Structure 1
Amino acid sequence: MKKKNTKTKVSLSLLSAGMLLLVGCSEEGSSGNNGEDGSAIETIDIMTMSYTPEPPQNDSPVIKELEELTGKKMNMLFVPSTTYGDRFNVTLASGSLPHVMLGDKSPSYISAVRDGAFWDLTDYLDDYENLKINDIVKENVSIEGRIYGIPRARPLGRNAVVIRKDWLENVGMDMPETIDDFYDVLKAFTEDDPDGNGENDTYGMAISEHEEPWNIMQTWFGAPNKWGFDDNGELIPDFTTDEYREALEWFNQIYDEGLINEDFAIMDPTQWTNPMINEEVGIIVDVADTAGRLHKAMVDKDPELDDVLDVFGAVSGDHGLVTKPTTGYHSVFSISTTSVKSEEELKEVLAFLNDLNSEEAQNLTINGIEGVHYELENGELNDLTVDDEKSRNEFQDLNQIQMYLPEEKFHKPEQTDLAIRSQEVMIENEDIVLPDPAYPLVSKIYAQRGQQLDNIIGDARIKYIIGELDDAGFEDAIDTWMSSGGEDYVKEINELYKEAQSVKE
């Protein structure tokens, strides 16, 4: 397998900036240590981010346990999350990369991939049991059809609906299964006194200026997830489809009837859940684990509100049961072609990362050492570091090297019934998620004009929902989108998609 070995020149000022960013990192110097015979990597440098002031040092007993487990010494290069992007760019510019470094699909990362800075892992990952990736996530992490990083997995089916199940019982209704059922529940939560206080003080669903609930719900109507295919197999934007317009009309209806909050377009997302906590609303479309956070806040305010929430994934429309997935990951670990010079060394690093995803390693990175940092009592996790910050610092940020592949295997605290249900919904949703076929594609036009294009349609959608725009006005917005670079964007996306498909073949 051929690989480029390009180094990028860097100015002295950038190198100086990089040195400044070392503050807060645990670093023993870039080892690049090979074995005495020159064929094995003894110490693996890992650059990742930290969220605590004192991340684990390389002499941490937990790191020593991980070294014994994996057979490799570890040189941890922790960078504060607030400065990670800057440090990442400086490191790329220096040409001196650690063996493994955390990155995302930023312009600088994509440019580095194209310059040959990272190994193409596409043909290797299936050989490692703990590095197997969901097919949709594979697409999402890919660049031009190839995989250059191992994702830190996140639930693909995380989007869901949180609902007051006690209100459902109060209005004599079952859990909604269809869009019509969902509408009926919104109506009842608004008009049928679901809290039983005799006041007209509730409504169906809370929405903020965060646009994701609309994006999720429109897939229930059969609208594509951002991009879909027309009858000729060409990629088209979601807002040009009939299904999107059907969803838009429905959004306008529930707004006109007062089934959602009138101020949604200006509501601060940080205040989004307050109406449910304050018992004003019965539904929020967000992520499944929001239910647990809401439950805690509601019970803290009123202990009588224990066990009043439930979660479900989606409701079905004419196109069946579908929902919008998350990307399924949060950043990737890529392997440097300058520090890892041969296929033999690459396989050593991949074996190391595979071992990091074992059950024992997951527990070490998340919980620490059993008997020191945690105990298991009747199978339940008991954290021993709650009041021992020094002990906790021995492992706390090590979750930032964990990929959770092919799944989470570590011990968790005792789960509430609601948390268990949320996990079940996320798993169930994986069977109904609708991927965005264009997500892996890297568009130059979108990089330049994406925000402007998104704003044109986003503003038009809001105006349509609140009745300030009719069908003709929305068509005008589409025309504006097309003439503002959208037409070229659609053309480019189709060309990129065909190129990516040809690479796979």
Structure 2
Amino acid sequence: MMKMKKKRAAAAAIGIAMLATAFAGCSSSGSKPEAAGTGSGGGAQKEEPYKFSVMMKSFQNDAITSESKIWKQVEEYTNTKLEVLFTPDAAYGDKLNITLASGSMPSVIFTANAKLPSIVNAIKGGAFWEIGPYLKDYPNLRQMNETILNNTSVNGKTYGLYTARPLGRFAISYRKDWLQAVGMSEPKTTDDFYNMLKAFKEKDPDKNGKDDTYGMVVTKYSGPWDIMSTWFGAPNKWGIDKDGKLVPAHLTPEYMDSLKYFKKLYDEKLINQDFAVYDSAKWNDPIINGQAGVAVDVVDRSYQIDEKMKAGNVKGEMDVIAAINGPKGAPVTPATTGYGGIFLISKSAVKTEADLRKVLNFFDKIDDKDMQILITYGIEGTHYKVEDGKLVTILSSDSPQAPDINIKSFNQLLIGVPNVLDTAFKAGTPLRAKANEVKAANEKIALPNPGEPLISQTYTQKGAQLDQQVEDARVKFIVGKIDEAGFQAEMELWKKNGGNEYIKEMNDAYAESKKK
């Protein structure tokens, strides 16, 4: 998550330019975007800028200030006077709790977790505006995804503006040159996938005459197992049984089917035998070093590995595919939550509906295409340039920036709806372009988690321990320390340790949500 956010922050540095340039171009042609609150008629009086504050994260010590040209353009475009209360990411959780407890809140507060007990309690106590009924009135905000809005909801109501992330972000990244070397085509089923991994181990895909390769690299991060289990029909964390009740994924027969498949991969040494302790920070290394040929993770891993290989003059080529067909039929991939956090609007600081609408208007207008480009990439000619339709960084967000052109951390303001940044410029490489296509295609097959918007008190208190117990049992099964009966015994213990209460609370909340 941190890497992704830093990437956004880095991208942000490039972007201010575009909006500035876009505005300059519009101005010179006599069609500068109309600021918020300005009438279309020549005699209309511009309203006073609306002053409000936002508390959010920063990922650089020298975050943007109001001296920046970008900041000033945003204020002019939205007819606002903005105060941003930046807090370093590492200290943000403590600052958030202190702010909520103090009762003295800024106009807008960011939280990465919509289901934090302190946030939920504040919502239930009436601290924040319910904004769901207003979204339809704004051209960008009305395009928010219903699944993601549901994921961030509390008691079936929308209180936050989510910061969008791709719903269909998971895929299979693999060594295309290896697949060609072993004479196989792109896998389409779980059997094909197994055969690819087997060939990568046994058929000398790098043609060096040595038995020194294997199929897929897996780390102690459990994401790949969760992704692959849905290929076999297991739900995305929570499923709905024949009686309409929620059931955890790990208690379904399909989950056990996936475990048996994973165990087969392990037993035949098609994955690294130290996966349970392998550092996720080194995930790419075995592929770049020519030891492994596949990683199941986010789409972006494909081009990240490919570009590192090329930068290191490593001979090889990566490719990416979305989900594959499992024994149950059509391909699916687990949907992400679809958001990186939410902005909540305080009732104590934003007292009237008229002022609420001004805040919503601000977030709507900064998601106009030119504004997203400005806030994300910067000023053209200063932070970036465009060559053959492709964006090229001049001044990254890691570079020192003078106060008047600083853009650092400002992109944390963006909602990202609609998603214009993936298509604002030509993709830097064909693989990046394909990655964007896979993400878009995945949205149609992304499997939602029906339990995502629900809150369980037991999980709030014991969630980490409950999750770890399931994960430990999965690893034990894969490596052969327990059999199927042993796994079921572990799940019975899980139920006694709080799982039964967790399931009941989730089903109670689910039934209640259906009444609304």
- Could you tell me how far apart the structure 1 residues matched to 2:137 and 2:432 are? 34
Q: 1:78 aligned to 2:90?
A: no
What displacement does 1:78 show?
1.3
Distance 1:76 1:133, change over 3 A: same
What displacement does 1:321 show?
0.7
**Partner of 2:66: helix, strand, or coil?**
coil
1:257 paired residue number: 268
- For 1:223-302, list aligned pairs within 5 A: 223-302=234-313
Structure 2 contact 230–334 (Cα < 8 Å) conserved: yes
Structure 1 contact 365–398 (Cα < 8 Å) conserved: yes
TM-score by length of structure 2 reads 0.86
Distance 1:375 1:196, change over 3 A: closer
- Could you tell me how far apart the structure 2 residues matched to 1:101 and 1:41 are? 20
What displacement does 1:392 show?
8.5
- For 1:34-49, list aligned pairs within 5 A: 42-49=50-57
2:96 paired residue number: 88
1:330 paired residue number: 340
- For 1:390-405, list aligned pairs within 5 A: 390=402, 394-405=406-417
Q: Which moved more, 1:172-181 or 1:289-298?
A: 289-298
Structure 1 contact 365–396 (Cα < 8 Å) conserved: no
**Structure 1 unmatched ranges of 5 or more:** 1-38
- Could you tell me how far apart the structure 1 residues matched to 2:243 and 2:189 are? 30
2:318 paired residue number: 309
Structure 1 contact 119–334 (Cα < 8 Å) conserved: yes
Q: Deviations over 1:299-324 (max 9, x none)?
A: 2333433xx10001111112311011
1:68 paired residue number: 76
Distance 1:249 1:98, change over 3 A: same
**Partner of 1:265: helix, strand, or coil?**
coil
Q: Which moved more, 1:145-154 or 1:384-393?
A: 384-393
Q: 1:389 aligned to 2:401?
A: yes
Q: Which moved more, 1:330-339 or 1:102-111?
A: 102-111
**Partner of 1:304: helix, strand, or coil?**
coil
What displacement does 1:369 show?
2.9
1:156 paired residue number: 167
- Could you tell me how far apart the structure 2 residues matched to 1:42 and 1:122 are? 22
TM-score by length of structure 1 reads 0.88
What displacement does 1:385 show?
2.8
2:8 paired residue number: none
- For 1:125-164, list aligned pairs within 5 A: 125-131=135-141, 132-164=143-175
Distance 1:407 1:392, change over 3 A: farther
- For 1:105-120, list aligned pairs within 5 A: 105=114, 106-120=116-130
Q: Deviations over 1:275-307 (max 9, x none)?
A: 1111111110011101122112222333433xx
2:468 paired residue number: 455
Structure 2 contact 68–403 (Cα < 8 Å) conserved: no
- Could you tell me how far apart the structure 2 residues matched to 1:375 and 1:203 are? 42
Distance 1:366 1:346, change over 3 A: same
2:371 paired residue number: 361
1:407 paired residue number: 419
**Partner of 1:146: helix, strand, or coil?**
coil
Structure 2 contact 179–185 (Cα < 8 Å) conserved: yes
Distance 1:203 1:382, change over 3 A: closer
Structure 2 contact 427–433 (Cα < 8 Å) conserved: no
**Which letter does structure 2 place at the counterpart of 1:403?**
I
What displacement does 1:185 show?
0.6
After TM superposition, which residue ranges in structure 1, 4 or more long, deviate above 6 angstroms?
A: none
- Could you tell me how far apart the structure 2 residues matched to 1:242 and 1:488 are? 21
Q: Which moved more, 1:126-135 or 1:191-200?
A: 126-135
2:477 paired residue number: 464
- Could you tell me how far apart the structure 1 residues matched to 2:87 and 2:329 are? 46
What displacement does 1:206 show?
0.6
Distance 1:263 1:98, change over 3 A: same
What displacement does 1:114 show?
1.2
The percentage of counterpart residues that share the same residue type is 42
1:421 paired residue number: 434
Structure 1 contact 170–194 (Cα < 8 Å) conserved: yes
What displacement does 1:370 show?
3.5
**Structure 2 unmatched ranges of 5 or more:** 1-46
What displacement does 1:163 show?
0.5
Structure 1 contact 167–194 (Cα < 8 Å) conserved: yes
Structure 2 contact 64–409 (Cα < 8 Å) conserved: yes
Structure 1 contact 365–399 (Cα < 8 Å) conserved: yes
- Could you tell me how far apart the structure 1 residues matched to 2:49 and 2:243 are? 51
